[in-house]
Structure 1
């Protein structure tokens, strides 16, 4: 009986994630196909190639994203992106979401140097507990005269890290983690379920 329960649990753990991924892919294909169906008949992919291919909307979306990425890496594209950043930066509420999302994506898909510099543990919300955060730079603020340098640390919420807390922590209170920003972000997004190969550095 114990073996049957063990096998049942193992089967559920194996199949459910696969079914969830399959359902998500199927949903994306359906949404993309419905989106493509909104195009005029002459502009639909099946009119070009003479047959209907499921998921063509996803392929077109990827091609569109790659084209946009290629354009934004050149001079004209960078100029347009700076213009978009300025416009978004002037809209209340929208600028907070836009900047946070942009910083998050840069930290995940970029080299991490633009947004987050290092993964650390800091005491928060009290001295008895630690949370993981990302160093963004030295703080320009000085709470009291003669105080040691404080470090700006962004502590994202989990599992949706587009919001969080900005802490100004004394450098001596930081516990440095020997993991990359990408590994730290994966750990954060998984709610701690994904392990990382890094170990804590000794201060």
Structure 2
């Protein structure tokens, strides 16, 4: 009975969490319909509440925004709006940071989260999955010897928090897996392992040269 109960949990828990997350997102998007004037809301016009209409509303708002800002006039309006936000003391710091991150992650020409790496963390005898985010800033690079890369080490099972590190490129191992596969591997705490390119999940591992770690000589 215990085995059957656990098997049932493995079926219902992921499904329940998925439905809860989707329901929460749909409910949040449906709340934008409350911004409409009284009498023009879908519930007032149809006489019944139809869940999910907010999803289409958000989609069309984002699509219309992208369409309007694709021309010169729209870009000028966006620049005026950003200049206004950059004059507000606290808002300019938050907006500027979020915009830089979103431009880097969502840009097609960016290199953020384009490669999965294996790095030593949190000490020289342990390895973890990290994501390449680019090259370190010039002010950091000039203080370091050799070529370094910027990596993001996500936490498990919540990959939205983690650690930003600058490590030597020779101290990293590039993994032959996609970013999506690496994220699933991290979120599942190593349970959902990506299949090998051979398709059987037990294929031969490509040999790599392990980076040599030189421990510093500490006084005393």
TM over 0.5: yes
In structure 2, the residue matched to 1:175 is 173
Post-superposition CA distance 1:49-76 (Å, at most 9, x none): 565423322322233233334445x244
Q: After superposition, where does 1:8-27 map in structure 2 within 5 Å? A: 8-27=5-24
Indicate conservation of the 8 Å contact 1:152/1:166, yes or no.
yes
Alignment partner of 1:92 is 2:93? yes
CA RMSD in angstroms comes to 3.7
Q: After superposition, where does 1:1-203 map in structure 2 within 5 Å? A: 4-47=1-44, 52-71=49-68, 74-76=70-72, 87=85, 91-100=92-101, 103-104=104-105, 106=106, 113-139=110-136, 140=138, 141-143=141-143, 147-158=145-156, 159-161=158-160, 164-167=163-166, 169-197=167-195, 202-203=208-209
Q: CA offset at residue 179 of structure 1? A: 1.4
More helix by share: 1
Q: How many residues align?
A: 192
Moved over 6 A (4+): 82-86
Indicate conservation of the 8 Å contact 1:119/1:177, yes or no.
yes
> Any idea what SS the aligned residue of 1:43 has?
coil
Q: Note the residue ranges of structure 2 that are not aligned, 5 or more in a row.
A: 198-204, 210-220
For the residues of structure 2 that align with 1:6 and 1:187, how far apart are their CA atoms? Answer: 25
Instruction: Name which structure has the greater RCO, CA cutoff 8 Å, separation 6+.
Output: 1
> Any idea what SS the aligned residue of 1:166 has?
strand
